[in-house]
Structure 1
């Protein structure tokens, strides 16, 4: 039990260390560790945890760490995973604050930040495509033989997107309505 709690802390500390961009940009990195490297969860379980983490208050990585830790090692696992994800980000934030405060007028530093911003956009796009593929075709793989198009999910996606963009409806209202539709259809 102590080994698994320590491993959860170490893994989520590492995730926190490399979570440049935060939020959606961190989803592929967490998936790589939790699903692929350690096989603590399968892709569907991971997607469910990400969905719940997005709906609960707080940062995505902290919520995900808490859920994964709780699932694997109970309360001690949740505390260890959450502490690991928070501690690394805190250390990095303090160090970066001091660094950028001292060297804020150097052009090369500004260029590094621009490069990090661009990579964050790519990570967010990767996370979005994974979630869309899982929701609409049941897999995150791009192999055609694995595709099983869920027509209802596709329609619900485009109706929600249309309502958000055209009528500027509240996203929370759209999530509630989509959940109600899903309750009756699925």
Structure 2
């Protein structure tokens, strides 16, 4: 890639994730629909199937899902420089906003206007997280085994308060077990995913 083209791509990555960082409240999970729209629908940097895998890997690693996803996508597009540009883009809006809030905390604190703004933002964030869950579920749960794993994980995490990391590791171990002991079943699951592209 030519130096000019590389710089243009780095700037595009930075700008894309800066926009995501600016317009998403409520943390990483609320960012998922916006990230998906930008990198799959608008930019076409990854496919819908690939982005589900990116989210799965990003969630299973330490750190915020939005930061991990931006780093992963940036690296996939243009290597180490891309990872730095995308990560800087998604982090910078939060740094700016938090710095401003810290500087003017006395003005924001107990201000009825800002309390009203955030009381409206919170329910919207819940709907964004729900949309993200439904989209990921539609692409990830392809058969009865996937549905059983999903329902079991939901039960363990919500009712028995099992830590999310244990649930993710458990899902990975089940996947490995199926792959090793039942290769035909594993192949069928993978092929089913391929048909949906």
TM-score interval for Structure 1 and Structure 2 normalised by the shorter chain: 0.7 to 0.9
Instruction: Confirm or deny: 8 A CA contact 1:17 1:92 kept in the other structure.
Output: no
Q: 1:146 matched to which residue of 2?
A: none
Q: 2:10 matched to which residue of 1?
A: 5
Instruction: Confirm or deny: 8 A CA contact 2:52 2:140 kept in the other structure.
Output: no
Question: CA separation in 1, counterparts of 2:30 and 2:76?
Answer: 23
TM-score normalised per structure 2: 0.82
1:111 aligns with 2:116: yes
Question: CA separation in 1, counterparts of 2:126 and 2:33?
Answer: 12
After the TM superposition, which parts of structure 1 deviate over 6 Å for at least 4 consecutive aligned residues? none
Question: CA separation in 1, counterparts of 2:39 and 2:73?
Answer: 8
Q: 2:72 matched to which residue of 1?
A: 67
Name the count of aligned residue pairs.
174
- Any stretches of 5+ residues in structure 1 without a counterpart? 138-149
1:156 aligns with 2:149: yes
Question: CA separation in 1, counterparts of 2:160 and 2:27?
Answer: 29
Cα offset for 1:57?
Answer: 0.9
TM-score normalised per structure 1: 0.87
CA-based RMSD of the aligned residues comes to 1.5
**Deviating more after overlay: 173-182 vs 161-170:** 161-170
Q: 1:140 matched to which residue of 2?
A: none
Question: CA separation in 2, counterparts of 1:169 and 1:103?
Answer: 37
Distance 1:93 1:103, change over 3 A: closer
Distance 1:91 1:51, change over 3 A: same
